[in-house]
Structure 1
Amino acid sequence: MKKSFKQWVGVSTTVIMAATVVAGCGSTANTAQETSKPDAAATANAKPFAGKTISLVTANHPWAEAIKPLLPDFEKETGIKVNVESFFEDQLTQKLTVQFTSGSATPDVFMYRPLQEGKLFFKNGWVQPLDDYAKKDANYDFNDFSKSAIGSTTVDAKLAGIPIITEQEILYYRKDLLEKAGIAVPKTLDELQAAVKKLHDPKNEMYGFVARGQRSPLVTQVSSFLYSEGADFTNGDKATINTPEAVKAFTTYGTLLKDFAPPGVLNMSWPQAFGIFAQGKVAFLTDANSLYKNATDPAKSQVADKVGFAVFPGGKAGSKPYSITSWGLAMNAKSGNKDATWAFIQWATSKDVVLKTQQKGNPGARASVWDKPEGTTGFPAELVPIIKESAKAGVDHDRPTVISVGEARDAVGEIVQKVMTGETNIQPVADKANQALQAIMDKDKTK
């Protein structure tokens, strides 16, 4: 029989207290106060954190909109008051950076982008490692999270946050065009290139392929090409974007955009790429599955009922799309309410709550929720098996995992854009970019 949250949080209270002691959380007075509480059985029917208030900062994101209506239930069961503030992405990063730099104890818990600012936050000591909370509570079922999602939120072998939103790169295609031309859905990059070439008809405003072409935005999407050819941005403490496999991947992506994309692709990020696909002018698009509504919503797309989904095509190393945590929840290392903060994170990322937020179209990281029919109602039926398969095979990052992410993305993006603008001798370009990425990585070691 399913436990109520009150029972569930009661069982977990002793684990939270133990983790608080192990992690060195809070003041001595706080620790004494927590250890004087009744045991788990006694607290099962009580509000273990009555009178506590925590602050939550979120992005203006669908997950935040899905979690806010659920907060009264959490507050009623635990006695914890949750004060919420929401910001646009760039404002969020700026606010957190300013507050953490000043040593602020608030917010207690916050949304963050693990692969964009996660390493910076962790290296600066702004994030509380959550290993002793999450991994030692059997009731939480930490192993239910996908391996790649947890990989995204792990820094230096420490759990810096808990995944709340995941995404993978997939292939979008026009079902009607492939059927008319007698083309099978591409399973390899070679097949994709052949299909793109066959369907490319620019005289009639039909283009074979589109994806992100802007220097920085393209990096996340070319990453799946990179992994599927057996390459990566780095190997240990060495930059590796100039290997033969990496150069092949960058050349494939860049050539697809140079020869078969609509005009202006050099300046396209995902809104423009999806926009022209939705106008019915492109046969194939590779991008994040989380953006699928831009292609399937009749209010946005002229081809809403003609869109198909497929696992990212395989290269030399098979199909290896990125499968990442795009957003996570983290705890402020200076929070004075770490026990209550973990109770919130634990609740917000529990199976029951992930099910509810996922039903609103927020792709979560718990395998058990994806395995439930009711857990997939927020997604097109054809997309669900693609997501599940991609998550199993995926790589846990979609950009170089460095502190200076922006600089690293510019270095990588430069290679692809050179291909897009007609450069044929790419090796020297890749060598120069590799030196730049190596310098960035070496600089990270001093931070």
Structure 2
Amino acid sequence: MRGFHINRRVRRVAEGALLLLLLMAAGCGEQEEKTGQASARPYEGKSITLITANHPWADEIKPLLPDFEAETGMSVLIQSHFEDQLTQKLTVQFTSGAEKPDVFMYRPLQEGKAFYRNGWLQPLDEYAARETGYGLSDFSAQAIRSATVDGKLTGIPIITEQGVLYYRKDLLEQAGIPVPRTIGELTEAARKLHDPQRGVYGFVARGQRSPLVTQVSSFLYSEGGDFTVNGRAAINSPQALKAFTAYGTLLREYGPPEAIHMSWPQAGRLFAAGHAAFYTDANSLYRSVTDPAHSKIADRVGFAPFPAGDAGSRTYNITSWGLAINPKSPDRDAAWAFIAWATSQETVLHTQSKGHPGARRSVWNLPEGTAGFPPELVEAVRESSREGVDHDRPTTVDVAGAREAVGEIVQRVISGETDIRETADRANAALQAILDKEAEGRP
């Protein structure tokens, strides 16, 4: 069976030998056979509910479930929801104290802190530690930190993301421009290739206030800044102002006129249509720009590590989606058995071979584990992961409010504001107020 951590053939041999010894010793086979069956199907009659996002990872897991159910004896009932609907559904159910779902997909950096503080995430440290051969140490350290709140592991990573630079190979070759290795080189290359009259913009990325925050984070880290430093808001630091100005200027000077209204679907579609030379975003979106059915430049897309700033090339290396357990589930052991299977090396190898980046380092080192990705992208991910940062937004309970504060600064640059100090100071105060409220435990 795909993905389950017990070797079926070895187990059958062992069970057969044990059954023979019991029969010989006691001469009574009926009870021993029942015991053997119970051992073979440890969750016989159990049923768990799994709630997923409408995500390709879930589509890859579903065909594997019959084998898992046959192996364990449990049944898995699946419900799927769109991203925003998923959060609303979980919030309503958990607020009411519901025992279901038993297992659910969630976004650790978006909902993790709030869910955990509300008592909606079962700590998984002990489960992972007692699982023989599970190999928690095989997971990316940054991905694990992304899913850790107050020192507790609240979920297991299933999808990771790193920031990369997408670029048009043909445009760079025609202009004799090397792939940018620094933010300064990216800005200069975008300037040279910016040609709106021919329908090509130098650069595209997310410009909407909240969505842009995760992508400007790579500029921020590469310039030596962060959203918070030593627990204090730091989005008005010199490093932050330099990073936000660089990102906003790229979109204002060399991006499409509608850039300020773009999230990842709009920016990705514009790049896939051949209307931009450079595009910075998550590696997990690579299929949207390399699928010939949806991209006019599928065979002309290049991938590179995120360009370096004053602090080097530092992008995020995070868990974008994880699996968690409802603390009120009556079948938490069965729920963990499902998670252990779904995140085992064998199952991760299967899902990652289909192009869904997982968190197990061993899988990234296997040829089968990288077969579903362009070789250039694999190298970019490996290089970016070495200095990866475990968050791509402010880590707070009020993530939405924090993102609004950061996004306002960048949007002022996109809109043409040249001196953003006052805006940054005001936004920093707003972020600090969010942090202070959280520290005091105020609702």
TM alignment of 1:260-299, pairs within 5 A = 260-299=254-293
Structure 2 CA distance for partners of 1:236 and 1:105, relative to 1, 3 Å: farther
3-state DSSP of counterpart to 2:391:
coil
Q: State whether residues 168 and 321 of structure 1, in contact with CA within 8 Å, keep that contact through their aligned partners in structure 2.
A: yes
TM-score, L = length of structure 2: 0.91
Indicate yes or no: 2:105 matched with 1:111: yes
Deviations 1:390-412 (A, max 9, x none): 22221111111111111111110
The alpha carbon displacement at 1:237 in A equals 2.2
Partner amino acid, structure 1, of 2:123: P
Q: How many residues align?
A: 418
Equivalent position of 2:357 in the other structure: 363
Indicate yes or no: 2:418 matched with 1:424: yes
Equivalent position of 1:139 in the other structure: 133
Partner amino acid, structure 2, of 1:331: I
Indicate yes or no: 2:325 matched with 1:309: no
Indicate yes or no: 2:166 matched with 1:166: no
Deviations 1:110-144 (A, max 9, x none): 00011111111001011100011113435101011
Answer with 374-383 or 258-267: which moved more.
374-383
TM-score, L = length of structure 1: 0.90
For the pair shown, the structure with the greater C-alpha radius of gyration is 2
- Out of 413, 416, 431, which is 2:407 matched to? 413
Structure 2 CA distance for partners of 1:4 and 1:156, relative to 1, 3 Å: closer
Equivalent position of 1:341 in the other structure: 335
Distance 1:65 1:427 in 2: 46
3-state DSSP of counterpart to 1:402:
coil
Deviations 1:48-79 (A, max 9, x none): 22121111111111111111111111111111
Distance 1:3 1:417 in 2: 45
TM alignment of 1:391-410, pairs within 5 A = 391-410=385-404
The alpha carbon displacement at 1:43 in A equals 8.9
Q: State whether residues 216 and 243 of structure 2, in contact with CA within 8 Å, keep that contact through their aligned partners in structure 1.
A: yes
Distance 1:201 1:4 in 2: 53
Partner amino acid, structure 2, of 1:248: K
The alpha carbon displacement at 1:389 in A equals 2.0
Extract unaligned runs of 5+ from structure 2. 12-31
Equivalent position of 2:436 in the other structure: 442
- Out of 195, 198, 201, which is 2:189 matched to? 195
Distance 2:265 2:230 in 1: 34
Partner amino acid, structure 1, of 2:215: Q
Deviations 1:373-393 (A, max 9, x none): 111222222211212222222
Q: State whether residues 6 and 45 of structure 1, in contact with CA within 8 Å, keep that contact through their aligned partners in structure 2.
A: no
Indicate yes or no: 2:94 matched with 1:121: no
Q: State whether residues 54 and 80 of structure 1, in contact with CA within 8 Å, keep that contact through their aligned partners in structure 2.
A: yes
The alpha carbon displacement at 1:6 in A equals 3.9
Equivalent position of 2:384 in the other structure: 390
Which contiguous aligned blocks of 4+ residues in structure 1 show a shift greater than 6 angstroms? 41-44
Distance 1:201 1:3 in 2: 50
Equivalent position of 1:35 in the other structure: none
Distance 1:126 1:263 in 2: 43
Equivalent position of 1:93 in the other structure: 87
Distance 2:294 2:70 in 1: 40
Equivalent position of 1:176 in the other structure: 170
Equivalent position of 1:155 in the other structure: 149
Distance 2:5 2:158 in 1: 19
Q: State whether residues 6 and 47 of structure 1, in contact with CA within 8 Å, keep that contact through their aligned partners in structure 2.
A: no
Equivalent position of 2:316 in the other structure: 322
Extract unaligned runs of 5+ from structure 1. 12-37
Equivalent position of 1:46 in the other structure: 40
Structure 2 CA distance for partners of 1:430 and 1:371, relative to 1, 3 Å: same
Equivalent position of 2:212 in the other structure: 218
Partner amino acid, structure 2, of 1:174: R
The alpha carbon displacement at 1:4 in A equals 6.7
Q: State whether residues 54 and 83 of structure 2, in contact with CA within 8 Å, keep that contact through their aligned partners in structure 1.
A: yes
Distance 1:310 1:107 in 2: 40
Q: State whether residues 5 and 134 of structure 2, in contact with CA within 8 Å, keep that contact through their aligned partners in structure 1.
A: no
Q: State whether residues 6 and 44 of structure 1, in contact with CA within 8 Å, keep that contact through their aligned partners in structure 2.
A: no
Equivalent position of 1:68 in the other structure: 62
Partner amino acid, structure 2, of 1:179: E
Deviations 1:216-249 (A, max 9, x none): 1110100000000110001232111010001100
Distance 1:54 1:410 in 2: 37
The alpha carbon displacement at 1:280 in A equals 1.4
Partner amino acid, structure 2, of 1:402: T
